[in-house]
Amino acid sequence: MDNKELIRMLNRDLADEHAAVLRYIVHGYQEGEDTPTGASLLSRAREEMWHMHWLGMIIGQLGGEPDMKPAPYPFDPANRSTMFKSYIDYENKLIPHYKEEAGRVDDPHIKRVLEREAWESKVHAGKFNKILNKLTPDEASGKPGAGNKLPPEFISRLQEIIKNKYTQMLQGIRNAWIFQKDAKTGWQIMDFSMTKMKQLAHVAEEVAANGINPMFKTDKLDLGASLAEALKNAAADLEKTRVDHIALQIGDEIKKHAGLAINIELTVNQEEYEEAEIKEWIEALKSR
């Protein structure tokens, strides 16, 4: 398999793993992190993030551009039973898929990663099967996510914040994979992407718990090859999202959501911290 074909193949896998992350996260938030089903779904989502990460690192090493657009995740949303059956199908299909791909590559690391994604998909199917078998009749025929109690205007503001943070986070992950040769900066960027995931979670959880799909959509990502440019954009973008978060702190609605208000304040402080750090990296890069 030539390099280009290999990158194309891994990018399709990346998009599938990304789809799985989003599906399990949204469902996990709808169930609630503090429920056994929700906790289990979020745990699967974290494992799908590893899967994404290994593929993204390889694509970056191969000189490819990672495809940050998730594939569709086909599932039957009728009730919990049909949802978990869809997840089991999805994971089961990935086992032969990854095994077949592993058989077609020569690089031992890539082969091992693909094989691992096969056997971890098998574990996922098994865990979902266990949840499915343990559902009470009421749970099985019901749907996750309580009715919405948030005013529409507040939801649209939260959705905008989710979209912007999701874009910023994916941009960071993409940059970390692309600039991994610059090991220290690559790792620092990834570190901040993890903070962004958490910041995203604070808001997305609130939205999903109200039975609404969080807006995991992105603006256009910057696919540039210059680290200096990427850092400059990252700092500017942080300033933008910080302004949005500060604006959300004003008004009566936020006062009704004490937990969210604390997390938004935390996010604002973290964004300020990250911006200052990134500006220092930019200076360090100039003097290199």
Q: In the complex, which residues of this chain contact Fe ion (CB under 5 A)?
A: 17, 48, 51, 91, 121, 124
Q: Residue 43 or 148: which CB sits closer to Fe ion?
A: 43
CB of 231 to Fe ion, least distance (A): 31
Tokens matching residue 4? 């280009």
Decide whether 112 or 256 has the Cβ nearer to Fe ion: 112
Nearer to Fe ion among residue 89 and residue 139 (C-beta): 89
If you write DSSP's letter for every residue of 177-195 in order, what string do you get? HHTTTSHHHHHHHHHHHHH
Nearest approach in angstroms of CB 169 to Fe ion is: 19
Helix (H) or strand (E) holding 136: none
Say how far apart CA 267 and CA 169 lie, in whole Å: 13
Residues 6+ apart with CB under 8 A from 5: none
Instruction: Return the closest-CA partner of residue 66 out of 15, 3, 102, 105.
Output: 15
| Minimal distance, residue 102 CB to Fe ion, in Å | 14
Residue pair 248/157 in contact (Cβ under 8 Å)? The answer is yes
Between residues 11 and 188, which has the closer beta carbon with respect to Fe ion?
11
Give the shortest CB-81-to-Fe ion separation in angstroms.
19
CB of 220 to Fe ion, least distance (A): 26
6 versus 21: smaller Cβ distance to Fe ion: 21
HSE of 64, CA atoms in CB hemisphere, 13 A: 21
